A = this chain, B = another copy of it.
Amino acid sequence: MRRPAKRVTSADVARAAGVSAATVSYVLNDTPGQSIPEETRRRVLDAVKRLDYRPRGSARSLAAGRSDVVLLSIPHLSIGPGINRFVEQFATALADAGLTLVTHLAGAPGRPLPDVCAAIDASVVVSLDPLDDETVQALRRAGADLVFTTEFEAHPTMRLMGRLQAEHLIDLGHRRLGYAMPEHPLLRKIAGDRLAGVAEACAHAGVDPPTALDTRLDGAAMARAARRWRRESVTAVCAYNDEVAIALLMGLRRAGLTAPGDLAVIGTDDIPLAQAADPPLSTIAFDLEKVGRSLADAVVANLSGRKPRLTPASLSPHVIHRAST
> Which positions in A face B, CB cutoff 8 Å?
1-5, 7-8, 52, 54-62, 67-69, 71, 76-78, 81, 84, 87-88, 91-92, 94-95, 100-105, 108-111, 114-116, 118-121, 138, 140-143, 145-148, 217-219, 222, 243, 246-247, 250-251, 253-254, 272-273, 275-278, 280, 302, 305, 308
Contacts and interface: CB of A to CB of B under 8 A. Distances in A.
Contacts of A2: 145-146, 302, 305
9 contacts: A1-B302, A3-B140, A7-B141, A57-B119, A77-B84, A95-B109, A243-B273, A253-B253, A253-B278
Number of copies: 2
Most buried by B among A56, A71, A219: A56
Nearest to A115: B54
A106 to B, nearest CB: 10
Contacts of A52: 138, 141
B118 A57 contact: yes
B1 A146 contact: yes
B121 A58 contact: yes
A310 to B, nearest CB: 11
Contact of A59 (B58, B95, B273, B277): B58
